[in-house]
Amino acid sequence: MDNNNKIERQKMQERCEIFGVKIEDVEARLAAIGRNGLLVSRFDDDEAGYKFREVKYFDVPGLHLNRFYFAMASLILKNVKNVLEIGTGDALSTATLASLFPNAQKMTIDLPFHDNMYKRWHNKGGPGTRRGQQRQKRLSRHNITSFRLNTFFISTLPLPRRFDFILVDGDHVYPQVAGDIMFAYSRIAKGGFIFFHDYYEISSPNCQVKEAVDWMAKRIPEKLFVFPMGTPPKRQHQKMAFIVKGLMKNEAT
């Protein structure tokens, strides 16, 4: 590990300590769930899917850190009953969450194939493609309830009243992203985590997650945490934002 990666690892340790967690325990948690705990190089994806790296965290630059944060949350949360993911995609995060919370009821929602928004965002991952087949295999391998529905109609689904963990990674533009965030905040249990994927620090007409999350953050009592999405040097403008329901701005360090 070079000096830059040592610095990044130290920063991550400090972020873990905010929640009373050791970085070594997070790494051990990821190692314990096997392939679903591997870092993914999201910057090498193609029609066959994403590339996996069997390396230790922060040893290789440009790797995606979402699984790290999910594992951190899994060490903090106790007696998790319900986990929700909005935006299944390739089901990589779905499979990871299923492994991290094996005793929870796990639900994921993605757009129907005929939905225009699905065609826009998932042109590489249709049911007949290799990525689509891999996606279906991940969903069937774990105890996951999968829904295909535009989240405009999410209130019609037979979902639990409260969730302990929610990942919001659906449509990234208004008004859908605002609706998904509002639903997640209204249904998260006290002490539960809501993660907001693709929080970009640069303005983009195709990604308005930051604008929606920041609007919410000004109006709720909870503190918004914003952590790096990947290891340097790639895409340092891309972040993972999250809140813990009930962890107030004046209480968080």
Query: In CATH, what number is assigned to the domain containing residue 16?
Result: 3.40.50.150
Residue at 250 is within a domain: no
Place of tokens 């009930």: 246
Residue range 149-170, pLDDT digits in tens: 999 999 999 999 999 999 999 9
Residue at 253 is within a domain: no
Residue at 59 is within a domain: yes
Residue at 11 is within a domain: yes
pLDDT band at 209 (very low <50, low <70, confident <90, very high): very high
Residue at 249 is within a domain: no
How many domains are contained in the chain? 1
Residue at 251 is within a domain: no
pLDDT at position 105 over 70: yes
pLDDT band at 180 (very low <50, low <70, confident <90, very high): very high
The parent domain of residue 63 ranges over: 3-244
Residues 6+ apart with CB under 8 A from 84: 107, 108, 109, 159, 163, 165, 166, 167, 184, 187
pLDDT band at 46 (very low <50, low <70, confident <90, very high): low
Residue at 194 is within a domain: yes
Place of tokens 């106790």: 78
Q: How far is CA 125 from CA 55, 118, 130, 141, 224, in A?
A: 27, 10, 7, 18, 32
Residue at 218 is within a domain: yes
Share of the chain above pLDDT 70, in %: 82
pTM: predicted TM-score of the whole model, two decimal places: 0.90
- Give the 3-state secondary structure of residue 196: strand
Residues in the chain: 253
